[in-house]
Amino acid sequence: MNHLLEYLKNSKVTRKRLDAEIRDERNQVLPQRDAYVLLKKYAKEFFSLGSHPRMVALSGLRGVGKTTLMWQTANYVYKNHSTQIFFININDLNRLNASIYDVMNALEKDLFHSSLNEIKEKIMLMFDEVHEAQNWQNDLKLLYERGKKIFVLATGSSALLLHSNSDLASRWTLKKIFPFRFPEFILAKSWLKNPKQKIFLEKDLAEEISALLFYSPNFNTAKRIKSKEEQFIEYFEVVEKTLGEKLNQLLDDYISYHNIARFLPLSNKTLVMERVLALFEQVLLRDIPNMDINLLNVFNRILFRLALSDLVNFQTLSKEFRLPETEVENFIVTLNHAEILNVFLPHGGVRTKTGGSQKTFFMSPSLRRALFSRLYGDKLKIALRAKLYEDIVAMYLKRILKEGIVTFGFGKRKNPDFVIETMDSPVLMEIGINKTSSAQIRTFGNYRYGIILNAKINRFSIDEKNRILLMPLHWFLLI
């Protein structure tokens, strides 16, 4: 345990270490993502008032910025509340053949000389890749019980964190970290170009538009989005002028390549695609519990199959890949848990009616784009590019709306891409590159109003008769 004690002494965060972690190679402070505001609030309320939550876990795709968010939160705590902060890399613990339980004991016996509940000063513990620790769930539960003066922030695999045991789930707060929103991408891109000319979206605009889109009680209320047109136009004009790029180029860059924070500094698109595919492999091999390595080839082929279509049927895939239907279903469910896929259920459908049909999108469209690059190279047909737009919209819906609110239209007739079940009747949504037809919305049945997202248009229009909002996709991407 002497080695562990030395490690813990060295793991205490210093000003120098913090500066190294929250700055880039130019010594510029990294921009803060939206999630930082909430993490800062949690930390402030714990250290100032003793409020909960005092154990927070960050889940999400590899590379979306979980560890950077953890260091930025630590920087806030260090400057405002406590310098007693420890960063524990679980890979280091494993090399020392130590556990989180051993860390707790060493802190009590050798560093604080007091039980964790009796320490005088509140402290912060950070665990990176916590799911790789021995017996991590039970140890975190014990840490929660013993460490009432400890603010714990951890990162880990979505596949495991999201489905931890119920005892732990009732103690910690799980925060999902999604790929960049478009305004976050623009902020980070403007910072890369010139840290003194960062581009911010007008405060509260995203929340206002989101509320109008999904929670308007009627079509007349939803139409108020049009009153925000000048604010949208002004924002995009500033973006094009400051970055020196056309909006359509920026949108393609964001959707296809740079919605995952880790890859933003990489300008070589081929290299980005290679790194994204490597990310796939890491998730499959390291983050998914009980992955059958012997079936890795088959699972990779299923991923390619999913990239080419969004509607999947377990029975069909079972026959195509000669696997038990339950094994195919478990693989899709696991990819959903790992936040590789966004899986949506049919509106009003049950398994017996749909034959296991689900609609699957990739959490980041860059994942689908990387798979396309293996099949089609650099150039994409319009139909394939449209799938990337559907992915990004699905990610936004997953981020904004609570679980179970969004389904997809399913049946023999034409159906909308998404059915958003808020208020008394649903909002229907269609996405396309140059979609203007409202037939899939009009023929659905009872609906509050419909939204068509069009990737080619620049202006907002209204179909009063059919209660349809025709909205530029890039407007939607600001919410």
Q: pLDDT digit of tens for each residue in the chain (479 aa)?
A: 589 999 999 999 999 999 999 999 999 999 999 999 999 999 999 999 999 999 999 999 999 999 999 999 999 999 999 999 999 999 999 999 999 999 999 999 999 999 998 998 999 999 999 999 989 999 999 999 999 999 999 999 877 776 677 778 889 999 999 999 999 999 999 999 999 999 999 999 999 999 999 999 999 999 999 999 999 999 999 999 999 999 999 999 999 999 999 999 999 999 999 999 998 888 888 777 777 777 778 888 898 999 998 788 899 999 999 999 999 998 898 889 888 999 999 987 654 444 557 899 999 999 999 999 988 888 889 999 999 999 999 999 999 999 889 999 876 667 899 999 999 999 999 999 988 889 999 988 899 999 999 999 999 999 999 999 999 999 999 99
CA dihedral 293, 299, 304, 308 (to 10 degrees): -160
Instruction: Determine whether 306 is exposed, middle or buried from the number of CB atoms within 10 Å of its CB (0-12, 13-18, 19+).
Output: buried
Kindly tell me the sign of the dihedral angle through the C-alpha atoms of 336, 175, 121, 49: negative
On whether both 148 and 260 belong to a single domain, the answer is: no
Residue 244 lies in a domain: yes
Give the span between the Cα atoms of 388 and 330, in whole angstroms: 25
Q: Cα dihedral angle (12, 47, 43, 109), rounded to 10 degrees?
A: 30
Q: What is the DSSP string of 146-175?
A: H-TTEEEEEEE-HHHHTT--HHHHTTSEEE
137: CATH: 3.40.50.300
Specify whether 55 is located in the same domain as 102: yes
Whether residue 255 is found in the same domain as residue 110:
no
Look up the domain containing 359 and give its range: 205-476
Burial of 328 (0-12, 13-18, 19+ CB in 10 A): buried
Instruction: Give the whole-angstrom CA distance, residue 361 versus residue 418.
Output: 12
Identify whether residues 250 and 359 lie together within a single domain: yes
User: How many domains does the chain contain in total?
Assistant: 2
Instruction: Identify whether 188 is part of a domain.
Output: no
CA–CA separation, 396 and 190 (whole Å): 22
